[in-house]
Structure 1
Amino acid sequence: MKTFRIVLLSFLFCLPMAGWGEYNSPLYLEKTTIYIGEHALLVEVANTDESRQRGLMFRKKLGENEGMIFIFPTEDHLSFWMKNTLIPLSIGYFSKDKKLVDVYEMAPNQTQVLYHSTQKVMYAVEANPRWFAKRGLGKSSILKIESRYIGK
């Protein structure tokens, strides 16, 4: 009987953790305001492998002028997809010198399409659908972000 109680208590103790996968625990990321051209965007900073992999997965909404900036440690050709991303997004890729090189409109929760940068880039910014287009931001628009933010 005593063994049964210990096993039962152990089971009950572990029960709240059951089902808690890596994506159910929130990531608390620093926020900052960036500018693309003269347009402000409040972004969460994803500058580590963990934060870049998680991105905006499982979000159900995003404020009108909110998004996420992905900062990489070196320039490379980047590809993003929308696995477990519940809302449609725009993505802008920026070169090392912070010039906009590509913008894509991404459909939610699909893994069949990859959105590739056409050249080596260091930054990607995700925002609401058509955020870049609505503001007339095109190739060579400049990203402004504090220099203290670096990719790790």
Structure 2
Amino acid sequence: MERVLDPLKQRVSRWEHIHIALYFILLLLFFQLLPSAMATEVRRDNPDLRHFLEQGAGIVKPGFGFSPQSGLREGEMRIHETPIIVELALDSRAQAEGLMHRESMPEERGMLFLFPQTQFLSFWMKNTLIPLDIIYIAEDGEVVDIVQAEPCRTSRCPSYPAKAPGKYVLELNKGMAEKLGLKVGDNISWQWR
């Protein structure tokens, strides 16, 4: 006996396959966009940011000025008595841009990224033209990881995840951490200028 397939069932079957495929595409998009949607924008009405701007959060003296290169607020921090002028990446736009497209940076300058809460952090070097030390710092000032990263010259740039959770990331010219005597486990003594 020959089995005859109903054309309506075949169409339903095709539509089911299309719906399932669309469902998986939407699910994939959801999980791709979720991290950026969950990223907390550090805004002026954020109490952590307000405290940071007023008190320096015990880490950096804010209100030092504005960087002529990026327009970001600058501050001064001291690492083992060496003053470092840092641009403050306080919001998601500044954090996403970071030190991209810079052809050079003076030796005792850097960028400090302030995140709203302690978390596992990961940075990459896409469109970053200068080699960097990426220093991951816990909320209490303890250095939890230091990574030396080279500029990425391909479309597939590796990421550099921290080995432990942190709340701050300091980017300096490559080799500066070693020159300053900075190592994992150090508690950076933050001083006012």
Tell me the TM-score range normalised by the shorter chain.
0.7 to 0.9
Give deviations 1:8-42, integer Å, cap 9, x for gaps: xxxxxxxxxxxxxxxxxx74101111122322211
Distance 1:125 1:145, change over 3 A: farther
Per the alignment, in what secondary structure is the counterpart of residue 60 of structure 1? coil
How far, CA to CA, are the matches of 1:114 and 1:137 in structure 2? 22
Larger radius of gyration: 2
**Can you give the 5+ residue segments of structure 2 that lack an aligned partner in the other structure?**
1-68
State the distance in 1 between where 2:113 and 2:80 align.
Answer: 18
Cα pair 1:37 1:142 within 8 Å, conserved: no
Which residue does 2:94 correspond to in 1? Answer: 51
Q: Which of 85, 105, 110 is matched with 2:128 structurally?
A: 85
Tell me, what secondary structure is at the counterpart of 2:129? coil
Amino-acid identity (%): 34
Q: CA RMSD in A?
A: 1.6
Match status 1:99 vs 2:142: yes
Instruction: Give 3-state SS (helix, strand or coil) of 1:51's partner.
Output: helix
Equivalent residues of 2:144, 2:165 under 8 A apart: no
Give 2:109's match in structure 1, choosing from 55, 66, 72. Answer: 66
Runs in 1 of length 4+ with deviation above 6 angstroms? none
Aligned to 2:183: 138
Of Structure 1 and Structure 2, which has the larger fraction of its residues in helix? 2
Corresponding residue of 2:160: 115
Q: Is the 8 A contact 1:27 1:51 kept in 2?
A: no
Name 1:29's counterpart in structure 2: 72
Give the TM-score taking structure 2 as reference length: 0.59
Unaligned runs of 5+ in 1: 1-25, 147-152
Aligned length: 121
Q: TM-score, normalised by structure 1?
A: 0.74
Partner of 1:86, secondary structure, is coil
Indicate the larger mover: 112-121 or 65-74. Answer: 112-121
CA contact (8 A) 1:37 1:141 kept: no
After superposition, what is the alpha-carbon deviation per residue over 1:76-116, rounded to whole angstroms, capped at 9, x for unaligned? 00000000011111110000111111111101134432111
CA contact under 8 A between 2:102 and 2:130: conserved in structure 1? yes
Contact 1:36 1:141 in 2 (8 A): no
